[in-house]
Amino acid sequence: MAVRVDADGDVLVVVIDRPEARNAVDRAVAEGIAAAMDRLDADQAVRAGIITGAGGVFCSGMDLKAFIAGELPYAGDRGFAGLAERPPRKPLIAAVEGYAMAGGLELALACDLVVAARDARLGLPEVKRSLVAAAGGLIHLARRIPYHVAMELALTGDPITAERAYALGLVSRLAAPGEALAVARELATAIARNGPLAVEASKRIVRGARDWDEAEAWRRQQEIAAPVYASEDAREGATAFAEKRPPVWRGR
């Protein structure tokens, strides 16, 4: 099986399981991740997801052997690796060990948070193979880090360390080698404690705000936030605070 999925309490853990191919993405991986994202969106018992790779490597990118054979690692409208073009509604965390290269980095950048081991390396080496990082990598870099740094990564194809990626803001948290998944679980658990409607709405606003002008941002924020304020969970949150007890979320 190219992708393993495990529900760990209210966290869904998705593992790319092709260590013999450095977890390169072929069609089976793309379809497996897409199915896992569908499950993350649909399963009310899970509140957040984690994606990682088996064997101490996150992902080496597109499977070039499969590509040469005419296979494309896309899955429906979710795009490359079953994730790049349509991420899940719920928060998704990348837990990076070893390296996240090419499509592997694009996969991580499609997530909402990235935890990386301190000895991990990240890069977009596509230009070294006369390819283009067209699965979101160039778009995300242009929006998230300084122009000249983005250009250096895009045009040289040389990787950077996790420490450098953390300083640039591409990585949310650093972990000791071998502990990226454990740190990602801590983050996912902290997210899962919160009101699920508010978490999903907050994610939508943060992701959308990059493309909205000032007037649109306020209007769209109101449209997204208003149903949350009118929900049972909002009343439960306020009541639980007043009664000094943990809230019981119902997702409605």
Q: Residues near 83 by Cβ (< 8 Å), separated by ≥ 6?
A: 33, 34, 37, 51, 92, 107, 110, 111
Q: Residues near 8 by Cβ (< 8 Å), separated by ≥ 6?
A: 185
Q: Which residue has the tokens 């000895």?
A: 119
Q: Which residue type does 161 have? A: T
Helices (H), the chain: 27-42, 64-68, 103-109, 137-144, 147-156, 162-168, 180-192, 196-209, 214-229, 232-242
Catalytic residue among 106, 163, 232, 236: 106
Reference 43, options 106, 104, 89, 82; nearest CA is 89
Q: Which residue has the tokens 């699920």?
A: 196
Q: Known catalytic residue: 179?
A: no
Catalytic residue among 20, 31, 71, 126: 126
What's the per-residue H, E or C state across 112-177? CEEEEECCCEEECHHHHHCCCCCCCHHHHHHHHCCHHHHHHHHHHCCCEEHHHHHHHCCCCEEECC
Q: Known catalytic residue: 232?
A: no
Does residue 167 contact residue 122 with C-beta atoms inside 8 Å? Answer: no
Reference 103, options 22, 19, 203; nearest CA is 22
Active site residues: 106, 126
